[in-house]
């Protein structure tokens, strides 16, 4: 068994944070922009986000939700009217105060003092209040309900410490906003969106998640209930990958979203909001990446198959290109995972081996190298990103199927890879959850220094509120821990609360988190 020379310089087990940065750079996904807190999403990273958008948007439309677009700028007054919301959000936001620049007389530009806005505008951190304004105009009668809207947009939350995809001042997301006649229907929508996110994460992104309700202290500002899906990263930390909020009637009251019911009376709507962001790309990296770079699940790969002809700048290249174009055409006619295959014939200048490692680091699911020997034998040299190495030789595990065989079997290979990546992540996640902890010492030990990448603990607790909850938060904070969520469909509590010693009422996940 030979030593494998991995494609990255940093291994996950040595320094997970640095490894994460190296994947982003080595897979050419994103980079710092030079503008404070804002990143540039490069074509491969953006291509993955576009695939996420396409597949999630299909699910959104299938649920009868309509896309629309609302202003980037929100008047200050909107933030002033919903007390809990402003407290949660009125902190770090980009504020537009002027609408013109003028020369400073010294070769530079300054905001024109004559062009100061009467009321500053906030760059949206989220759009509940501005969409609420629209809903108050659009909803008149019970016939207008439910009103189910979604927008794909950029939002800004000024961040002091940023990390690409996970925490940036500007990020991309979708935000769903729905208005309903009553609480029951609004709760159904809250859970529908949560289930949509679970299905998207698990089926499309191959990321196993736990769906559950956030405790009171982790709720969206102003929400009655916040639900999330939580994914375990390879360092054991949790990533909140999507949220769905039941907002009750407080946002409707602030924005005056009322309707005439069937009996002619006026009632407040119950509203719901739900969102998923480019953070998911960070989750993808930390779930599927390995010491050779990213591995993109086939459903999300901008290109699922990359063909690399081994060109030599000689006349024989023409025949090789013909052979590869035949391969490309044959593959492009196939489907996988319910969509036409996405195949790239990469003829850029550069050596095939160098290009191979570029695509390995980017995580393209399948690489097909084709040299003149392959052509003569009617075969291709196939490398699966999920089975990259031959452990015995320490070399890349090329297979050499006949060209027609490769074309015929590629669809099932991609399906296998999609489910294989999910199964691998789920096994790792499940192996790193403990349900055995029944006191604070055990918790401290589980997350202690000697465990490099501890996972999650599902513990029983008494669900205190107010000061009691604050005290529990302090206990967690001392261990650098947070509550994740109260998972659905778990056995009822039967023990005592590890924080308060009182009888437990439910089970809740505790973890370090991004």
Nearer to a copy of itself, 120 or 378 (CB): 120
Restricted to residues 68-87, the positions that interact with a copy of itself (CB under 8 A) are 68-76, 79-80, 86
Binds a copy of itself by CB under 8 A, chosen from 156, 193, 210, 337 = 156
Among 4, 7, 40, 488, binds a copy of itself (CB under 8 A): 40
CA distance 274 to 224: 13
Rounded to a whole number of angstroms, the minimum distance from the CB of residue 185 to a copy of itself is 15
Tell me how far, at minimum, the Cβ of 300 lies from a copy of itself, in Å. 15
Site for a copy of itself in 350-369 (CB under 8 A): 350
Among 13, 137, 353, 502, binds a copy of itself (CB under 8 A): 137
Distance CA 424, CA 206 (A): 9
For helices 317-332 and 403-431, give the axis angle rounded to 10 degrees: 60
Q: Which of 101, 319, 353, 423: binder of a copy of itself (CB under 8 A)?
A: 101
Identified binder of a copy of itself from the candidate list 52, 56, 139, 172, rule CB under 8 A: 172
**How far are the Cα atoms of 239, 439, 475 from residue 470, in angstroms, in the given order?**
22, 18, 9
**Cβ proximity of 359 and 321 under 8 Å:** no
CB of 238 to a copy of itself, least distance (A): 26
Neighbours of 35 (CB within 10 A): 10
Q: Give Cβ neighbours of residue 333 (< 8 Å, ≥ 6 apart).
A: none
Of 64 and 492, which CB lies nearer to a copy of itself in the complex structure? Answer: 64
Q: Does 97 bind a copy of itself (CB under 8 A)?
A: yes
User: How far apart, in whole angstroms, are the C-alpha atoms of residue 495 and residue 458?
Assistant: 13
Question: Does 181 engage in binding with a copy of itself (CB under 8 A)?
Answer: no
CB of 388 to a copy of itself, least distance (A): 25
The reply to whether 465 sits near a copy of itself by the rule CB under 8 A is no
Q: Does 149 bind a copy of itself (CB under 8 A)?
A: yes
Gap between the Cα atoms of 154 and 69, Å rounded: 11
Tell me, letter by letter, the H, E, C secondary structure of 281-336. HHHHHHHHCECCECCCCCCCCCCCEEEEECCCCCCCHHHHHHHHHHHHHHHHCCEE
For residue 100, give the 3-state DSSP assignment: coil
Q: How far is the CB of 172 from a copy of itself (least distance, A)?
A: 7
Among 349, 466, 491, 492, binds a copy of itself (CB under 8 A): 349
Q: How far apart are CA 221 and CA 278, in angstroms?
A: 21
Told to check if 122 binds a copy of itself by CB under 8 A, we report yes
Report DSSP letters for 184-218, one per residue.
HHHHHHHHHHHHHHHHIIIIIS---EEEEEPPGGG
Total binding residues toward a copy of itself, as defined by CB under 8 A: 67
The least distance separating a copy of itself from the CB of residue 35, rounded to whole angstroms, comes to 4
Q: Would you count residue 166 as binding a copy of itself (CB under 8 A)? A: no
For residue 295, what are its two tokens?
A: 């591995």
Of the listed pieces 103-111, 213-221, 227-235, 400-408, which binds a copy of itself according to CB under 8 A? 103-111
From 9, 58, 120, 465, residue interacting with a copy of itself (rule: CB under 8 A): 120
| Cα of 72 vs its chain's centroid, Å | 22
Q: Which residues pair with 290 in a beta bridge?
A: 293
Per DSSP, the three-state class of 388 is coil
Two tokens, residue 183 = 């609480």
- Our finding on whether 433 is near a copy of itself (CB under 8 A) is no
Backbone angles phi, psi at 81, to 5 degrees: -90, -20
In the complex, minimum distance from the CB of residue 97 to a copy of itself, in angstroms, rounded to a whole number: 5
Considering only residues 4, 6, 7, 38, which one is a binding residue for a copy of itself as defined by CB under 8 A? 38
User: From the list 5, 62, 107, 313, which residue makes contact with a copy of itself (rule: CB under 8 A)?
Assistant: 107
Cα distance between residue 190 and residue 193, in whole Å: 5
C-alpha count within 13 angstroms, C-beta hemisphere, residue 1:
2
> What's the length of the chain?
514
> According to the 3-state scheme, what is the secondary structure of 342-398?
CEEECCCCCCHHHHHHHHHHHCCCEEEEECHHHHHHCECEEEEHHHCEECCCCEECC
Map residues 193-232 to x or -, x wherever contact with a copy of itself holds by CB under 8 A: ----------------------------------------
Question: How many other CB atoms sit within 10 Å of the CB of residue 444?
Answer: 14
Q: Which is nearer to a copy of itself, 47 or 242 (CB)?
A: 47
State the nearest-atom distance from the C-beta of 383 to a copy of itself, in Å.
23
Nearest residue (CB) to a copy of itself, 92 versus 427: 92
Binding stretches for a copy of itself (CB under 8 A): 31, 33-36, 38-43, 46-47, 49-50, 66-76, 79-80, 86, 90-103, 107-111, 120-123, 130, 133-134, 137, 143, 149, 153-154, 156, 158, 170, 172, 348-350
């Amino acid at each position: 068994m030979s030593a494998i020379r991995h494609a990255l310089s940093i291994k996950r087990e040595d320094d997970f944070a640095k490894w994460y940065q190296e994947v982003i750079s080595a897979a050419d996904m994103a980079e710092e922009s030079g503008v404070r807190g804002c990143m540039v999403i490069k074509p491969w990273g953006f291509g993955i986000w576009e695939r996420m958008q396409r597949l999630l948007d299909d699910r959104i439309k299938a649920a009868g939700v309509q896309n629309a677009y609302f202003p980037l700028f929100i008047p200050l007054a909107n933030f002033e009217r919903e007390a809990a919301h402003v407290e949660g959000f009125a902190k770090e936001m980009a504020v537009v105060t002027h609408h013109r620049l003028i020369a400073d007389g010294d070769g530079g530009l300054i905001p024109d003092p004559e062009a100061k806005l009467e009321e500053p505008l906030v760059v949206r951190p989220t759009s509940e209040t501005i969409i609420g304004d629209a809903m108050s105009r659009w909803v008149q009668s019970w016939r207008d309900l439910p009103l189910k809207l979604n927008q794909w947009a950029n939002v800004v939350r000024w961040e002091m410490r940023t990390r690409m995809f996970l925490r940036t001042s500007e990020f991309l997301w979708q935000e769903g906003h729905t208005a309903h006649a009553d609480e029951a229907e609004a709760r159904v929508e809250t859970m529908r969106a949560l289930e949509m996110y679970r299905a998207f994460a698990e089926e499309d992104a191959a990321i196993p998640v736990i769906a559950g309700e956030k405790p009171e202290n982790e709720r969206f500002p102003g929400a009655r209930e916040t639900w999330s899906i939580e994914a375990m990263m390879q360092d054991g930390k949790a990533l909140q990958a999507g949220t769905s909020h039941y907002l009750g009637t407080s946002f409707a009251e602030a924005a005056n979203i009322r309707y005439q019911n069937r009996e002619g009376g006026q009632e407040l709507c119950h509203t719901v909001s739900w969102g998923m962001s480019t953070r998911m790309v960070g989750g993808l990296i930390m779930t599927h990446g390995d010491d050779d770079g990213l591995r993109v699940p086939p459903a999300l790969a901008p290109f699922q198959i990359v063909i690399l002809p081994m060109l030599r700048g000689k006349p024989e290249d023409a025949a090789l290109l013909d052979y590869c174009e035949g391969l490309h055409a044959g593959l492009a006619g196939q489907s996988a995972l319910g969509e036409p295959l996405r195949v790239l014939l990469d003829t850029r200048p550069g050596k095939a081996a160098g290009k191979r490692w570029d695509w390995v680091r980017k995580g393209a699911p399948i690489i097909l190298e084709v040299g003149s020997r392959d052509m003569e034998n009617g075969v291709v040299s196939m490398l699966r990103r999920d089975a990259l190495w031959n452990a015995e030789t320490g070399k890349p595990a090329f297979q050499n199927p006949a060209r027609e065989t490769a074309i015929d079997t590629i669809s099932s290979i991609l399906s296998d890879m999609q489910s294989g990546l999910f199964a691998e992540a789920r096994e790792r996640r499940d192996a790193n959850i403990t349900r055995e902890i029944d006191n604070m010492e055990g918790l401290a030990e589980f997350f202690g220094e000697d465990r490099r990448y501890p996972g999650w603990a599902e513990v029983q607790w008494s669900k205190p509120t107010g000061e009691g909850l604050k005290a529990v938060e302090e206990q967690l904070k001392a261990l650098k821990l947070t509550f994740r969520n109260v998972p659905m469909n778990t056995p009822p509590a039967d023990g005592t609360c590890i924080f308060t010693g009182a009888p437990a009422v439910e089970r809740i996940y505790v973890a370090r988190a991004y």
